[in-house]
Amino acid sequence: MDSYLDSCWSKGMDVCRNDCLAFHGWQSVRGQMVNCETLITCPICEMQRFSHCSHPKCRDANYEDCSPYADAGNSTRLFHHKNRVPLKTVYYKSITAKLLSLYKQSLMPGNHSLLKYMEKSPSGNAKHRVTREGCIIDTCDGTLVKEHNEAMRDRFRSVKRQFESENASETLFMCSILLTLFYDGMILFERDSDSIWPMLCSVLNCDPSKRSKLGVGLFPNMLHNISVGSGAEQYLVDQILTNELKQLEEGIIFRFEHPVDPTQTVTVFLQARCVFAHLDTTALQKFAKIKGSGSSYGCKCGAK
């Protein structure tokens, strides 16, 4: 899953032109499970997924149904799928892939990636963070963050004990991350049709000066201009993002070659938890069933 989601950042993930759904994975459409990755039209609004094929033989013959997924061996038509362009795309970068990449970078000598600034002590806070006994002067001083840190340490101890009992020759290393998410939109050029909706992911348990450093403690996770509350947005947030965060909370064991010494194998238990989320409630209220204090309903706890 992670490798595929990471590739969606470079090539984009196709969505319906009317934002009905994302052409990704198996989804329930009108009571039936459909493999949306192979569709060339939206099953809800029947909008074409791709532009018309620009290849001369397809254009001259008016083959509007020229499909990138058709089997050319069973037909005399020429399927030149590279000549078809998706009408609309969104971008999603796997949080898991990014965190694993940062961990690998931290093993390089002289590297200044995020994990070089993470605290190695049991407190789980950054080495250079200012603290004051009995005072909350940073988000890492809060009770919620401390509880999640302790829960992740307990989880790692349990997994490490079982893993090393079954793999006596291996050592399991810990990589526990606290995350924050920011999700909001902006209108470009003062036109409603030109909007951009980024989701930014930041690592909390690191040096505070690195939290907002792009590519080190802060990185974009999702980018789109689809309609607020649409089926495509719901799929991105509810199915892809939520499932990835759930998987990270449970933790994942990775094995990979050491970037300096290929003869060594590194085994790491990666886990992460989102402890703060700054989200535009208007964008999420349709399927998260929430209302913000700034909404017309006026109650921050007013679930539908």
The per-residue pLDDT for range 55-112, each reduced to its tens digit, is 666 665 555 556 665 554 444 444 445 567 889 999 999 999 988 888 888 787 766 5
Closest CA to 48 of 95, 91, 15, 72: 15
**pLDDT of residue 43 exceeding 90:** yes
- Tally the residues of the chain: 304
Count of alpha carbons within 13 Å of 205, Cβ hemisphere only?
A: 27
CA 201 to chain centre: 9
| pLDDT recorded at residue 291 | 63
- The domain ranges of the chain are 95-288
Query: Helix 2-11 vs helix 95-106: angle between axes, to the nearest 10 degrees?
Result: 100
**What mean pLDDT is predicted for residues 214-237?**
87
- Residue-averaged pLDDT of the chain: 78
User: 43-52, 161-170, 208-217, 260-269 — which is least confidently predicted?
Assistant: 208-217
Would you call 37 helix, strand, or coil by DSSP?
Answer: helix
Read off the pTM. Answer: 0.80
CA separation (Å) from 100 to 96, 122, 141? 6, 21, 26
| pLDDT recorded at residue 303 | 43
| pLDDT recorded at residue 281 | 65
